[in-house]
Amino acid sequence: MLVPSRTSTCSRDNANLKRRSDDGLGDILIHRRLITPQQIAAGVDRQRRTGQRLGKVLVDLGFLTEQTVLEVLSWQFDRALVGQGGLAQLDVDVVKIIPEDVARQNVVIAMERSARRIVVATADPLNVIAVDDIRRVTGLEVDFKIAPEVDIKAAIDRHYRAAVRENVDDILRQDLGISLVSESPATEDTVDIKQLRTQADDPPVVKLVNYVLTRAAADGASDVHIEPYDDRTRVRYRIDGLLYDLLEVPRQLHLAVVSRVKILSRLDIAERRLPQDGSFSARIVGTHIDLRVSTLPTLFGEKIVMRLLQKEAVVQHYTLESLGFEAEQFGVFREAIRRPWGMVLMTGPTGSGKSTTLHTALKAIKSPRKNIVTVEDPVEYRQPGIQQVQVKAEIGFDFARSLRSILRQDPDIIMLGEIRDAETAQIAVRAALTGHLVFSTLHTNDSVSTLTRLVNIGVEPFLVASAVNLAAAQRLVRKICRDCREPYAPTADERELFGFDIPETFYRGRGCKNCRNTGYSGRLAIYELFPITAEIRGMVLQGVDADTIRKHAMDTGMGSLQASGLRKVRSGVTTLEEVLAVVADQE
């Protein structure tokens, strides 16, 4: 809890918390007849399962408004409630007293300070960890006011962005010794490396790079792009599959920023003519993140792309039920991954969630009585209880070689990150036919093409027909933002595009600050599942082409990606526009 206290122990903090009532939040809400005991019981049950605070759970369930919860908390703890616009204009110097990662992790922002005390805004006055974090980094006693979480997050974005602009200004006031006219590849070689390393370690440059990483992690970005142009450097990040501008950096800072990232990634800052690949790990906003770094020489300097991989993401947050399977699809997929042998193949473009689906499947079936081994490049998610192997192609340890080694390790289940060549495909197929369950991915446009793809790269049709149990195509569609979701009547064009059995009401996001005014927040998978039946096996053995096999599968009940997406539109999860854009390569 965020309370003024002279001690650092949580027990003293609990004892010193000034309350107008000793009752808990639920008791107060029931006493005021704002909620029923049955609703409280439902909220407590979800709270135990999710670990979220009770007030947020009750709001998410639709039992209360956030304003009602905040007003009760304000009364309960005798703390002021921040009014509308109360966080709009804060002193940036006061805000910066709390480091941005601490502010984002705890969802707090500094409002006022005195000689010995700091006042912060919070939506969770019972956050014991936050007060210790703030006291530790500031050396000040902590008091608090109550404010909506969404307003606090918006204030964090706004005010720390202003702080970063000050850092950029600080850098500009320094003499970097790099002229804008000497940024061509030919003259970059003359830059003093020792001086460049010094600039990369300057506090303002460090703060700037840290800010970019913190914002990317806090906003759920998958990638960060640092792009040089002739007059500026643009920083963008990818959220829900799309790139958004984050900030612009003056052109003369580009080398220093790139060098900072290279130092973190253990890359050669002197080499700017050739692409380089590196990586580093960091704890950002309380989450352990692996960053894969790639450099690319361009006309105006090196472009940097950093991919953020949250190690615990699959294990902690995903279940088969949460991926997006419909009821019938769920049963088909679950049955396939529980078979003792055979292949389950996922297909789709890069970034379509194939690895996430397969890792979630492994999580669902792993057991102390099974030996599960994965071969990946890179290892994106770490799972306890599973042996994970990183491919190292530069020393000859590729997918095929690693797979041969794994087969001598008595595996029950193997996940192969990708089938890229004939040798790997043949080993994987034979493994599936000798008592192993094999998961892998391929790059094809639809599920049916996985079979012909294996045949085309050199696997005998009779082996393909015998080994594959299920092929599945998937795409990711953006979900409508739940904070600004609204119903509307479909237009004539939308009715025509949707086809038969159109619902009377469609849904869309009107755009709000929570979704960056896009109307979307988060993504969900749509699937096309292709179980390999006896009829399909016979068609593969006869050499029937993919189009004919697909027509047979559709005639006998297989649903397409578009059909899966349209059902998500019908249920109000996504929009028709989004589905049509995502499956345009299929239909």
Which domains occur in the chain, in start order?
10-152 (3.30.300.160), 174-310 (3.30.450.90), 313-478+523-559 (3.40.50.300)
Q: Is 220 exposed, middle or buried (CB count within 10 Å of its CB: 0-12, 13-18, 19+)? A: middle
Q: Three-state SS for 518?
A: coil
| Whole-number Å distance between alpha carbons of 237 and 502 | 36
Spatial contact of 587 and 497, defined as CB atoms under 8 Å apart:
no
* Number of Cβ within a 10 Å radius of residue 390: 13
Q: What is the DSSP letter of 260?
A: H
Nearest to 487 by CA among 517, 473, 507: 507
The single residue listed with the structure tokens 């020489």 is 297
| Whole-number Å distance between alpha carbons of 2 and 124 | 8
Phi then psi for residue 22, to 5 deg, are: -85, -5
Q: Taking the mean position of all CA atoms in its chain, how far away is CA 482? A: 18
Q: What is the DSSP letter of 504?
A: S
Phi then psi for residue 296, to 5 deg, are: -145, 120
**pTM of model > 0.75:** no
* Integer Rg of the chain from CA: 27
Phi then psi for residue 194, to 5 deg, are: -65, -45
- Residue 569 CB contacts under 8 Å (≥ 6 apart), including other chains: 498, 503, 506, 575, 576, 579
Number of residues written out for the chain = 587
Spatial contact of 479 and 521, defined as CB atoms under 8 Å apart:
yes
Spatial contact of 485 and 534, defined as CB atoms under 8 Å apart:
no
The token pair at 291 is 């960053």
**pLDDT value of residue 11:** 35
Q: What is the DSSP letter of 126?
A: T
The token pair at 204 is 């303002």
| Whole-number Å distance between alpha carbons of 419 and 403 | 11
**pLDDT value of residue 62:** 84
The single residue listed with the structure tokens 């290279």 is 262
Alpha carbon distances (Å) from 360 to 63, 135, 446: 32, 39, 21
Alpha carbon distances (Å) from 70 to 45, 53, 108, 149, 452: 21, 13, 15, 10, 59
Amino acid at 97: I
Q: What is the DSSP letter of 528?
A: E
Phi then psi for residue 258, to 5 deg, are: -60, -40
Spatial contact of 284 and 101, defined as CB atoms under 8 Å apart:
yes
Q: What is the DSSP letter of 34?
A: S
Q: What is the DSSP letter of 424?
A: H
Q: Name the H helices within 394-518.
A: 399-406, 422-432, 449-456, 461-467, 492-498
What are the contacts of 29-33 at 24+ separation with CB within 8 A? 29/58, 29/64, 29/72, 32/72
| Whole-number Å distance between alpha carbons of 282 and 53 | 27
Phi then psi for residue 178, to 5 deg, are: -120, 120
At 263, which helix (H) or strand (E)?
Answer: helix 254-265
Spatial contact of 580 and 497, defined as CB atoms under 8 Å apart:
yes
Spatial contact of 332 and 290, defined as CB atoms under 8 Å apart:
no
**pLDDT value of residue 199:** 60
Q: Three-state SS for 131?
A: helix
Torsion of CA 419, 420, 421, 423, to 10 degrees: -40
Spatial contact of 171 and 204, defined as CB atoms under 8 Å apart:
yes
pLDDT in tens, the chain (587 residues): 343 333 333 333 433 445 555 568 888 888 888 889 888 888 888 888 777 778 888 888 888 888 888 888 888 888 888 888 888 888 888 988 888 878 888 899 999 998 889 999 998 888 878 888 898 888 889 998 999 888 898 888 888 876 666 666 665 555 444 333 333 343 445 456 666 576 666 677 888 888 888 889 888 899 999 999 988 899 999 998 888 888 888 888 899 999 999 999 999 988 889 999 998 988 887 778 889 999 999 999 999 999 998 766 555 677 888 888 998 999 999 999 999 999 999 999 888 989 899 999 999 999 999 999 999 988 888 888 899 999 888 888 988 999 999 999 999 999 999 998 999 999 999 999 999 999 999 988 899 999 999 999 999 999 999 999 999 999 999 999 988 898 988 888 888 878 767 888 889 998 887 787 788 999 999 999 999 999 999 999 999 999 999 999 999 989 999 999 999 999 999 999 899 888 875 55
Q: Are strands 342-347 and 372-376 parallel, antiparallel or unpaired?
A: unpaired
| Whole-number Å distance between alpha carbons of 59 and 77 | 19
| Whole-number Å distance between alpha carbons of 431 and 240 | 36
Q: Which residues pair with 485 in a beta bridge?
A: 509
| Whole-number Å distance between alpha carbons of 361 and 349 | 19
